[in-house]
Structure 1
Amino acid sequence: MGRRHRARHRTGRHYATMTSVTGTHRAVGKRRGIAAWPIVCVVLVAFLVAGWFGWHWADGVLESRAAAQAADCKQGDLPLRVTVDPALEEPVMAAASRWNEERTVVREHCVRVVVHTASPDDVYAVLTDDADPTTIGGSPAAWLPDSTEWVEKLARDRPELVGSSGLSLASGPDGDYPFLVIAGDDATGAQQHAAQSFQKYLLQPEQQAQFRKAGLTPAHASNG
């Protein structure tokens, strides 16, 4: 009888101890669950505040860049009319679009390239005063005909209009496609300088790749 009593006594103590430990564990778990919510809220608020400052910082950087670019254009916008042979429309238009997106500055002017297409005969008629400039979209500051022969012909008939040597940008089955800067009384120094800068831009690899895409041989490939 004594042994059975002691066994029941021990079992009761073990059960009481287990109950006590389990109750303590639940109590601690509840306290931890309650304390986690404020921490989550604090972290969330910190992320929101950091995001707000980050957004305003990025917005401020963009505004600063825009302001810096606007400050460089002290002389305002300068449209640069470039007339090209129809075969060059796609590559030159693509290059002009990138040039304008970059808001390229030349001599304190924000140069905006405007591309028109026209046959060499029509452009030559305008340059020699045999046709109205409106027929080709206005007098060009630069001309890209389908052959260097047009540059040579203009140099013979109106040498004062030839502002450059007519460097070839690409070649095709019919010959080379030169870039001619138009000089003369109607061409300002800023326009001629901008035209020369755009010519160099067209010789860059990214722009030359567009000539290849149009089925033409880029100048770099033809030169070496």
Structure 2
Amino acid sequence: MAHHRSTDRGASMRGRGVSRGLVGALLTVVLVAAVVVVWFQLGDRIDRQGEQAAGNCVEGRTTVPIIADPDVADALSTIAAEYSETGPVVRDHCVVVEVRPGDAKVTLDGLAGAWDPAALGARPAAWVPQSSIWAADLVSARPDIVDGTPSSLVSSPVVLATAPELAEAFDGELDWQQLPTLQQRDASLGAFGLGSWGSIRLAMPIGAQSDATALAAQAVAMQVTRTMGPLTEQDADSPRVASSIEAMSSGAPQSPDGTPVGAARLMADASDPADATIHAVAITEQSLYQLTRDDTTPRLAEVIPGGPTPIADYPIVRLTGDGVAAEQTDAVAEFFAFASQPEHLATLTALGFRGDAPMPEKTATVTFPLTENPMPIPETAATVTINRLVYGPDSGPVTAG
């Protein structure tokens, strides 16, 4: 009986065996799954290798030179160092942004003519002058090397620096268009109760970083021509504009160093403001802030004449053409996008510039009031015309031959 049961059990087990077809199917599924896994792993590996190659800068290191106005150059260099710490890679190039200060007239002449690396350093991929008066001159002379329309990095309104006593006498009643008359007439400040002071003695500096002089002239031109929109070439060419600027410039007292800051410092140090050789000078608010930020008792005052307020706009002039590689062009765009973020722009606004970041606390002299009526940027040809009236007919760039 026991032997019979054993035989029956073996037969039963053989009857329940797994079919070869099912085993083959299972093996096929496993094989396909393995192939798919390997395929995706290979794809991920290729992607990682591509990213690693880019991260390792397969095209090498690229320096991106930028020339900036001395007012912003140091702060912009600090932001450039922060940008470099992010390890930027552009078109498979490791990017290093180098910012250096440069005189606007020298830079303009070099860009509009033949750039001399031995004398001027590496040709820049971007330029940030104090205001659009320089961008207009470059666009007029060499539109082919300017990439797009310049945009403002930061800004600073142009104001008049005066003695506090004179600002109090003006009491908000001074207008830009009054400046030519107040400059030319003897004892003209008598209209404001200060006849013993003589005329306004408005300095018209045309040395380094004197953009405020030309911008103030633009404001006067807008007022005397009663222009409602941007100043046009026809407006700037009018005899009344030329005579107004001549009236301000003729006999204007000289700044000790040819700059607005030098003129303002002379007023601040005067023992008797009524007898000072200079009573007023157009200056950027930021420069006035830097000059007087530590004053607890005001030595100077910030006067904002009536009418549209001219603005020093620190334009980002992106350059193109020979000497500017594609990766430098892209890096310039990426860097200034980085610099314009509020946490980085704060490095500049802390110095008294205006922008989308916190401003410093007001001081005894500069209160950073809201600019209610900013002057629109004139047409390019109008700006160039005003520049020639202020700086002279030979002040333009050397045109390319």
- For 1:205 and 1:72, locate their aligned partners in 2 and report how far apart those are by CA, in whole Å: 30
* Bigger fraction of residues in helix: 1
Point out which structure has higher relative CO (alpha carbons under 8 A, 6+ apart). 2
5+ residue gaps, structure 2: 1-50, 159-283, 285-311, 359-369, 372-401
Give the equivalent residue in structure 2 for 1:191: 328
Give the equivalent residue in structure 1 for 2:154: 170
Q: What letter corresponds to residue 75 of structure 1 in structure 2?
A: E
Displacement of 1:69 in angstroms is 8.1
Q: What letter corresponds to residue 92 of structure 2 in structure 1?
A: E
1:83 aligns with 2:72: no
- For 1:98 and 1:74, locate their aligned partners in 2 and report how far apart those are by CA, in whole Å: 23
Give the equivalent residue in structure 2 for 1:140: 124
> Against the structure 1 CA distance between its residues 98 and 161, is the aligned structure 2 distance closer, same or farther, given a 3 Å change threshold?
same
* Bigger fraction of residues in strand: 1
Give the equivalent residue in structure 2 for 1:60: none
1:98 aligns with 2:82: yes
CA contact (8 A) 2:342 2:356 kept: no
> Against the structure 1 CA distance between its residues 142 and 219, is the aligned structure 2 distance closer, same or farther, given a 3 Å change threshold?
farther
Deviation digits for residues 25-75 of structure 1, max 9, x if unmatched? xxxxxxxxxxxxxxxxxxxxxxxxxxxxxxxxxxxxxxxxxx948735221
Deviation digits for residues 170-205 of structure 1, max 9, x if unmatched? 012441101111111221111111111111111111
- For 2:59 and 2:340, locate their aligned partners in 1 and report how far apart those are by CA, in whole Å: 26
CA contact (8 A) 2:54 2:89 kept: no
Q: TM-score, normalised by structure 1?
A: 0.64
Q: What letter corresponds to residue 205 of structure 1 in structure 2?
A: P
CA contact (8 A) 1:116 1:137 kept: no
- For 1:193 and 1:92, locate their aligned partners in 2 and report how far apart those are by CA, in whole Å: 18
Superposed counterparts of 1:21-100, under 5 Å: 68=52, 71-100=55-84
Give the equivalent residue in structure 2 for 1:205: 342
- For 1:94 and 1:160, locate their aligned partners in 2 and report how far apart those are by CA, in whole Å: 31
The percent of aligned pairs where both chains have the same amino acid is: 29
CA contact (8 A) 1:80 1:112 kept: yes
- For 1:71 and 1:101, locate their aligned partners in 2 and report how far apart those are by CA, in whole Å: 14
Aligned residues: 159
Give the equivalent residue in structure 2 for 1:113: 97
Q: TM-score, normalised by structure 2?
A: 0.37
5+ residue gaps, structure 1: 1-66
Q: What letter corresponds to residue 112 of structure 1 in structure 2?
A: V
Structure showing greater radius of gyration is: 1
- For 1:184 and 1:70, locate their aligned partners in 2 and report how far apart those are by CA, in whole Å: 26
CA contact (8 A) 1:141 1:195 kept: yes
